[in-house]
Amino acid sequence: MNPVTQSLIDLLSVKLLHTGPTNSLYRGECEDLGFRNLFGGQILGQSLNAAMQAAPEGFLPHSMHAYFLLAGKVKGHVDYKVEVLRAGRSFAALRVDAIQDGKIILTQNTSFQVPEEGLEHQIPMPDVKGPEGVMSQLEINRKFSAMIPEKIRDKFTADKPIESRPIDPVNVFKPDKQAPEKDVWFKPVNDWSQQDLALHYSLMAYSSDFHLLGTSLLPHGVSFTTKGLQMASLDHAIWFHHKPRIDDWMLYSMESPASSGGRGLNKGRIYNRDGQLMMSVAQEGLIRLKKDL
Residue 81 confidence (pLDDT): 98
Residue at 126 is within a domain: no
> pTM for this one?
0.94
| pLDDT at position 292 | 57
In this structure, is residue 129 part of a structural domain? no
Q: Report whether pLDDT(77) > 80.
A: yes
Domain membership flag for residue 274 = yes
Q: Which residues contact 223 (CB under 8 A, 6 or more apart)?
A: 170, 172, 173, 175, 214, 217, 229
Mean pLDDT of the region 129-140: 92
The residue with greater pLDDT, 79 or 246, is 79
- Residue 85, domain extent: 3-115+135-289
Residues 21-54 have pLDDT tens digits of 889 999 999 998 888 899 999 999 999 999 999 9
Counting every residue written for the chain, the total comes to 293
pLDDT the model gives residue 216: 96
Residue 130 lies in a domain: no
Q: What would the pLDDT profile of 159-177 be if each residue is shown by its tens digit? A: 899 999 999 998 888 889 9
- Which residue in 233, 253, 256, 280 is the catalytic one? 233
In a domain, 223, yes or no: yes
Q: Is residue 122 part of a domain?
A: no
Note if 46 is an active site residue.
Answer: no
Per-residue pLDDT tens digits for 177-226 = 999 999 999 999 988 888 899 999 999 999 999 999 999 999 999 988 88
In a domain, 184, yes or no: yes
Tens digit of each residue's pLDDT (9 = 90 or more) over 253-263: 999 999 999 99
Is 283 part of the annotated catalytic residue set?
A: yes
Active-site pick, 209, 216, 253, 256: 209
Q: Which amino acid is at 159?
A: D
Query: Does residue 179 lie in a domain region?
Result: yes
Task: With a cut of 70, say whether residue 71 has pLDDT above it.
Answer: yes
* CATH number assigned to the domain comprising residue 210: 2.40.160.210
238, 284, 205, 156: which is closest to 28 by C-alpha? 205
pLDDT computed for residue 148 by the predictor: 84
Is 53 a residue of the active site?
no
User: How many domains is the chain partitioned into structurally?
Assistant: 1
Contacting residues for 83 by C-beta, under 8 A, at least 6 apart: 22, 23, 94, 95, 96
Report the interhelical angle of 197-207 vs 3-12 (nearest 10°). Answer: 100
| Per-residue pLDDT, 293 | 47
| CB distance 79 to 95 below 8 Å | no
Q: Please report the pLDDT score of residue 284 as a whole number.
A: 98
